[in-house]
Amino acid sequence: MNITSNISLKPYNTFGMDVTAKYFAAVKSVEDIQDVLLDPVCINHEKIILGGGSNVLFTSNIEALIIKNEIPGIELLNQDEEHVYIKVGAGVNWHQFVMYCIENNYSGVENLALIPGNIGASPMQNIGAYGVEIKDVFHSLEAVSMQDKNLVTFHHKDCAFDYRESVFKNKYKNQFIITSVTYRLNKTPHYNISYGAIGAELEKMNVQDVSIQSIAKAVMNIRTSKLPDPKIIGNAGSFFKNPEISSTHFNNLKKYFPDIVGYSKSDDTVKVAAGWLIEQCGWKGYREGDAGCYDKQSLVLVNYGHAKGIDIFSLSEKIMESVHQKFDIFLHREVNIF
């Protein structure tokens, strides 16, 4: 397995940060991963697993070994009367997989069209959008243990899925390299258009008979209308998570901010729209050099060309502080900082 030195990571992160990795290895199979893990360079250095690079912010050169997961493959494993089980390599582009499902009339991921990144990150982050999360279609995954190099299977109950969370971001952080994910998809469509923006977009599109194709198209229209293309403006999608606060806190805020946007998760908890909070603090469209807060979606921090990672990070700190001061709410970053 070839490990190279002093590689620019600019092509490998959607923020377009031009930092250097001391060591870099691209892996395309389980065997590649096992070989890398046995290499003296790997044994003696910190390891960072990189997929599509759409959820990372590099703030300096990386002294670690970057293991770039490029494992390919989409395979129909099994099916029954209601479901199909599709095994996908961790290095496959997420949107490519969604389009594969749309073309084959497999329902379940159409609401997740155009999310950047690769398959391997989907269960790790429990990615989600427009009323659907990975936990809704997840069946199992395989991952190599970084300790004993064995291939391990994780089922749904093993993953501890939560909002943008899983066991791989907590208990097993930096302990496994995901190699494939198996999804359980529906043969008969179960439409989820409860998210208001989808219904409005379908109406705008004059859709008479809803289909997974029309839902995917609606989602893509919505995303492209308010999210920048990272090939043109560097970004990592939503930079912050939507915070969850107590119902009491939310009701108190509503007295002073009657337009505050929130969604009840239970009798005791409300999920608040982070984008609304940030916009109320005056950050939407703000720019400091080449680091900015996107003018169409305040959840998205952007690199307009020559911003450094530390510039984006510093802007995020200022945003978090202002939201805390105004609303007594702590924002948490969704993007991983290195």
Q: Check residue 87 and give its pLDDT.
A: 98
- Give the mean pLDDT of the chain: 95
pLDDT digits (tens, 9 = 90+) for 39-70: 999 999 999 999 999 999 999 999 999 999 99
CATH label, 234-337, candidates 3.90.78.10, 3.30.1330.10, 3.40.50.300, 3.40.440.10: 3.90.78.10
Q: Is the pLDDT of residue 265 over 90?
A: no
Q: With bands split at pLDDT 50, 70 and 90, how would you rate the model's confidence at 195? A: confident
pLDDT digits (tens, 9 = 90+) for 153-189: 999 999 999 988 999 998 999 899 999 999 999 999 9
Fold of the 74-186 domain: 3.30.465
pLDDT digits (tens, 9 = 90+) for 133-150: 999 999 999 999 999 999
241: how many CB neighbours lie within 10 A of its CB?
17
The string over 26-42, giving b where at least 16 C-beta atoms fall within 10 Å of a residue's C-beta and e elsewhere, is: bbeebebbbbbbebeeb
CATH class of the domain defined by 4-69: alpha beta
pLDDT digits (tens, 9 = 90+) for 208-245: 899 999 999 999 999 999 899 999 999 999 999 999 99
Where do the domains of the chain lie?
Answer: 4-69, 74-186, 234-337
Residue with tokens 């999310």: 115
Give the closest residue to 93 by CA, choosing from 58, 67, 120: 120
Region 249-261: mean pLDDT is: 95
DSSP conformational letter for 125: H
Taking the model in full, what pTM does it have?
0.90
Q: Do residues 30 and 153 lie in contact, with contact meaning Cβ atoms separated by under 8 Å? A: no
Q: Which residues pair with 48 in a beta bridge?
A: 66
At residue 74, the 3 state secondary structure works out as strand
Q: Enumerate the active-site residues.
A: 164, 238, 334
Phi and psi at 141, nearest 5°, equal: -145, 160
pLDDT digits (tens, 9 = 90+) for 280-334: 999 999 999 999 999 999 999 999 999 999 999 999 999 999 999 999 999 999 9
